[in-house]
């Protein structure tokens, strides 16, 4: 299956190395989204944050996996973090790829940077977890990215498709539910019964009568014979 991958990276520092990864992906009939044109990136920066967000959101459309290319100073970058968070919200698979060992235009490698997934958190099963606990990272050089990038993408997309919320409705007798709330077996909604007032108390206002208090109502004490007396 042909996948469209969104590439997230620190443009000013890592465009050369990012292109090495991109150029491995695109010639095989695949598509790459992200900021690759320097004029486009500079134009969006001048237009301000809203313009950058719009361009990122548009770039993420029709993508199924986001590859975060991790350079020396990628971690903590505002727009990289935004791209990661929006990718997760969209349901994209996410992978991190360390690119510092790729030689730049001068034949030099760089210092390994921090994992940007460490800075972003979510809640799973009521527990606060970092993205680094949920999404894998690879090294382009030592993990043979040129040969394995395609399989990393497919694995990430497959893992993302399994992250679905399933609501399980199990029929339960109402008598088996806790006193404070009972769950309907058909809707799964917990209903907490209102406290029933004493049998000899009713409330009335302008012809409206209820066993439960309501604004402007007057409490009436009801005799055994059903006659009311205002108190």
The C-alpha atoms of residue 213 and residue 197 are separated, in whole angstroms, by: 9
Closest listed residue to residue 68, CA positions, set 47, 42, 86:
86
Which residues partner with 222 through β-bridges? Answer: 228
Question: Do 77 and 10 touch, CB atoms closer than 8 A?
Answer: yes
- Which of 17-26, 29-38, 65-74, 109-118 is predicted least confidently? 29-38
End-to-end CA distance of the chain: 77
Closest listed residue to residue 95, CA positions, set 133, 136, 150, 129:
136
- Examine the pLDDT at 54 and tell me if it is beyond 70: yes
Residue 26 DSSP SS3: helix
pLDDT digits (tens, 9 = 90+) for 158-180: 886 554 432 222 333 334 434 44
Residue 100 DSSP SS3: coil
Residue tagged 């406290």 (tokens): 195
pTM above 0.75, yes or no: no
Domains of the chain: 4-161 (3.40.50.450), 174-223 (no CATH)
């Amino acid at each position: 299956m042909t996948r469209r991958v969104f590439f997230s990276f620190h443009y000013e520092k890592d465009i050369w190395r990012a292109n090495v990864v991109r150029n491995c992906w695109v010639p095989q009939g695949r598509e790459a989204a992200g900021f690759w044109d320097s004029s486009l990136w500079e134009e969006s920066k001048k237009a301000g944050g809203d313009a950058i967000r719009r361009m990122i959101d548009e770039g993420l459309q029709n993508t199924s996996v986001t590859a975060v290319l991790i350079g020396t100073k990628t971690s903590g970058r505002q727009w990289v973090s935004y791209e990661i968070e929006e990718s997760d919200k969209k349901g994209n698979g996410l992978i991190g790829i360390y690119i510092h060992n790729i030689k730049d235009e001068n034949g030099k490698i760089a210092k390994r940077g921090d994992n940007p997934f460490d800075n972003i958190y979510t809640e799973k099963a009521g527990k606060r977890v970092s993205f680094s606990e949920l999404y894998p990272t690879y090294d382009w050089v030592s993990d043979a990215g040129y040969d394995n990038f395609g399989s990393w993408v497919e694995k990430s997309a497959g893992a993302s498709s399994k992250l679905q919320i399933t609501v399980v409705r199990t029929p339960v007798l109402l008598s088996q539910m806790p006193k404070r709330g009972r769950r309907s077996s058909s809707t799964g909604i917990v209903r907490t019964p209102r406290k029933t007032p004493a049998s000899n108390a009713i409330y009335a206002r302008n012809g409206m009568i209820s066993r439960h208090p309501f604004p402007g109502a007057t409490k009436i004490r009801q005799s055994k014979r059903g006659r009311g007396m205002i108190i």
